[in-house]
Structure 1
């Protein structure tokens, strides 16, 4: 027969042992952050939600990848248009703006290609190959548009270039805003902010050029 004191001691010891086992089970089981057997641990009510399309442990999501894959050929086409202006434009401000566009967008193309390589995602290889990837790009010029620009010169080139680049920039601004809303990578979102602000200022400048041409 146990005394009351002995019984209390046994109950206390059993409770302590149970608690210890629970702590050990938690440490070895689903209580840690690391997923088990290749599956992510279930989210708890207080856990922050993972951005859509973000891989566990990654700083980027599907919106970041699409932004880079779309903006690279979009920028490349703007550079092609700017290069035509070097020999075909007549207006000094158009020539100067075209050089500024090329100087800004060439390095951005290299930056975005670097991201895609780091993320293990394919980089586009041409301005017209995006349809194969299922992406649509607002503001992108057709081959016919580019052909007509390439045949123009002087004042006619200046006007056509300005009209086309305004539409092109507006498309880039739209994509940049989407990245800021849906992207996860801080550097990609920062580049999107830069693209939006710089190209919006250039749209306003080109509209003034177009008004006087």
Structure 2
């Protein structure tokens, strides 16, 4: 049986241990790493990649960058010329398939221009580059027609117009897809709205290119 002195010593030890435990700071809680796989979408032509838990935990919400603003402004110019080209169709085209295609393009690209303008305005960005002159139009933009080529298209009629329109619009669409790829290559396209729009342009215009190539082949056949 423990002696009274021994009991006092044990009690003191128990109290000391309890006091130390109470004074010890709780360790900071660390947010658990994500356990659900997070897949990062690759750019056009690039594979998707599954992020590690550490990479996924460090992801923030991407914001737009200057490359996105430039892309949106240039795409507005690009769409504007497409709508100008489509405006020639009703009076000059021969085939009903070209008329239907032009109607679809007019609706879709007009809606997309409204979407792009709203994107700029919501972010307080001017629709036009404030450093550019009023008449500045980037003639070296991928796929755009020169003034001479536009005049040639406007002067054509019937079957000749249909063929020239399809050839010109295929080139125009390919230019838009190139602009999307250049956007990602420059580090843009990470903001969710821009990413969604760019991927839509690549997919939608790719489908239209395939259809226009079929239409050309039917005429050549």
Q: Pick the aligned partner of 2:201 from 195, 202, 210.
A: 195
User: Do 2:62 and 2:192's aligned partners in 1 also have CA atoms closer than 8 Å?
Assistant: no
Normalised by the length of structure 2, the TM-score is 0.65
What are structure 1's unaligned runs of at least 5 residues? 1-15, 17-45, 51-56
User: Do 1:64 and 1:188's aligned partners in 2 also have CA atoms closer than 8 Å?
Assistant: yes
- Count the aligned residue pairs: 167
Q: Report what 1:141 is aligned to.
A: 145
Deviation at 1:118, TM superposition (A): 2.2
Distance 1:143 1:211, change over 3 A: same
Q: Report what 1:4 is aligned to.
A: none
Deviation at 1:149, TM superposition (A): 0.6
Distance 1:108 1:127, change over 3 A: farther
Normalised by the length of structure 1, the TM-score is 0.68
Coordinate RMSD, CA, aligned: 3.1
Segments of 4+ in structure 1 off by > 6 A?
Answer: 125-128
Q: Report what 1:130 is aligned to.
A: 137
Q: Pick the aligned partner of 1:72 from 67, 70, 76.
A: 76
CA deviations over 1:24-48 (Å, ceiling 9, x no partner): xxxxxxxxxxxxxxxxxxxxxx995
User: Do 1:180 and 1:192's aligned partners in 2 also have CA atoms closer than 8 Å?
Assistant: no
Q: How does 1:29-68 map to 2 (within 5 A)?
A: 59-68=63-72
Query: Partners of 2:108 and 2:184 in 1: how far apart?
Result: 20
What are structure 2's unaligned runs of at least 5 residues? 1-22, 24-54
- The secondary structure found in structure 2 opposite 1:197 is helix
Deviation at 1:136, TM superposition (A): 4.2
CA deviations over 1:53-96 (Å, ceiling 9, x no partner): xxxx9821112101101100100111111111122111111111
CA deviations over 1:109-143 (Å, ceiling 9, x no partner): 01111111222323239996234xxx941001111
